[in-house]
Structure 1
């Protein structure tokens, strides 16, 4: 097959790719588009619905052309791990122990401050817009926007529960099976999160799906999917079940085997606000999580 294919009929870009790569699944072709590997007449196109006209030429870029050197530090020299980035948004992996944003104490080393440093590397006028947050003690995937409009579009998806959010955790105890926790959470005057079986003033619905993946005599490795994103939702829900997260002393944990909260945001899936494509990012939890079920 030639590196450049001239189209002989009008088709959507996804259908055009399907004619060029008949043995590839549509999922694979969409990933190719998301990765910026497809050019139409020299222009990189991300949208599967883009209309390719007869006579236009499609070129597939090699992986070496699109894969920049991984960014491991901000311009200021602080560590950063970029999972996905285009001109509209970017996705980072947050380490445990780092605030997402500054509190009223105005901390100057947060994931957001590192994100701002990152986008300003190429253009001092750019900014990183906060879409959602992870607790300081939680690690994993978090998305930032590069414009106010993209931020609002993404936040609407979170509010409408159109974003898939998967976590992995280690809980104390032998937990089997799977289930759904649904109740209402509210913060008290001390900012503690309390759970209620029915709606009370100021409370918000919280829904967590859980599934035991690997059970040991002391710890259990658990997969969790949250339909809502309340503060400390997973921590409160699992503690109320009698299985607090390892390392979560605030919610009743008796141990801290890894010197951190054993909770990791491992998957984030959302619709790209500009291209309309589904973006799915996976960041595996630390191997030490699963090892806890084998070592004890």
Structure 2
């Protein structure tokens, strides 16, 4: 009796898994920007899908957070193999939920809502899937947006009526809305206010019009938290909520937000945009209770001040 060969027949050989690739971190950065700049031949959306599937690990531990802070010397490994049972929410954490609202903490790099380029992996899409697990007829409605590269607190409504109530009464309903901004250079004033009229150019870039009354009135208040010769950490409070308002106003005072190339920043110190939605306090549209939510300042924003270089605010 002839012994069968253990060698697989032609065309039926079992595929050998592609080897994982590892990369050593050379300088501090957040995970998503590091991957985008390091992995060749992969677009932003493809890399975010790999994060969602658990294919990215840091020092041997799977990591899905876009804003995970990498330190020099760490090893980032990219696996080609899909991991089963991916986490439900990627780049997003629910911090409060009731029958009317969802308050979520968004990481930098995640879109609030779909664009032509990305229709699936957004905060809106993920939360829609979340509420539909309970009832396929459930929906969410976005109340306000954060730019893709801005992290922090967002609010979603669970009905169109609640969404409209919040948006129609936004100025009265919101009791506190503040951001943390890491900006270039040393801001000399301990606090200040920037006022202008914002317009949008043909290239969709916002700017302050030199003519009073020409555009949307925008008012931004800021307070210095920490500073050194290279950077300043500000708490920024919005009196009005216009598109890119903080980004434009920081450029206007000569201190663009770190990482904000669109508005003339030259620094890449933290590997992301230095803007974070810090506090949102509001009157609940149904219960009328005043609620307050705070998202911790990203560790990367504090790194420039950890070497004893900061000058304390008065």
Q: 1:161 offset after TM fit, Å?
A: 7.0
| 1:182-221 equivalent positions in 2, closer than 5 A | 182-201=195-214, 203-221=215-233
Partner Cα separation in structure 1 for residue 118 and residue 180 of structure 2? 30
Q: Partner of 2:240: helix, strand, or coil?
A: coil
- Which of 77, 85, 106 is the aligned partner of 2:88? 77
Q: Does 1:88 align with 2:88?
A: no
Query: Which TM-score applies when normalising by structure 2?
Result: 0.67
Q: Partner of 1:181: helix, strand, or coil?
A: strand
Q: 1:120 offset after TM fit, Å?
A: 1.2
Q: 1:83 offset after TM fit, Å?
A: 1.0
Superposed CA RMSD in Å reads 2.0
- Alignment deviations for residues 94-153 of structure 1 (CA, whole Å, 9 cap, x no partner): 110111011133521111111111111211110010111001110000000001111011
Partner Cα separation in structure 2 for residue 245 and residue 83 of structure 1? 27
- Which of 267, 283, 290 is the aligned partner of 2:302? 290
Q: 1:157 to 1:120 in 2, by over 3 A?
A: same
Check whether the contact 1:180–1:209 (CA below 8 A) recurs between aligned residues: yes
Check whether the contact 1:154–1:273 (CA below 8 A) recurs between aligned residues: yes
Q: Partner of 2:223: helix, strand, or coil?
A: strand
Task: Give the corresponding residue for 1:279.
Answer: 291
- Alignment deviations for residues 217-239 of structure 1 (CA, whole Å, 9 cap, x no partner): 21111100001111111011001
Task: Give the corresponding residue for 1:17.
Answer: none
- Which of 126, 131, 141 is the aligned partner of 1:114? 126
Q: Does 1:139 align with 2:131?
A: no
Q: Does 1:174 align with 2:186?
A: yes
Q: Partner of 1:81: helix, strand, or coil?
A: strand
Stretches of structure 2 lacking an aligned partner (at least 5 in a row): 1-64, 66-84, 310-314
Q: Partner of 2:292: helix, strand, or coil?
A: strand
- Which of 167, 173, 176 is the aligned partner of 1:155? 167
Query: Which TM-score applies when normalising by structure 1?
Result: 0.71
Of residues 135-144 and 111-120 in structure 1, the stretch that sits farther from structure 2 once superposed is 111-120
Q: 1:77 offset after TM fit, Å?
A: 2.6
Partner Cα separation in structure 1 for residue 197 and residue 104 of structure 2? 30
Partner Cα separation in structure 2 for residue 143 and residue 113 of structure 1? 14
Check whether the contact 1:161–1:227 (CA below 8 A) recurs between aligned residues: no
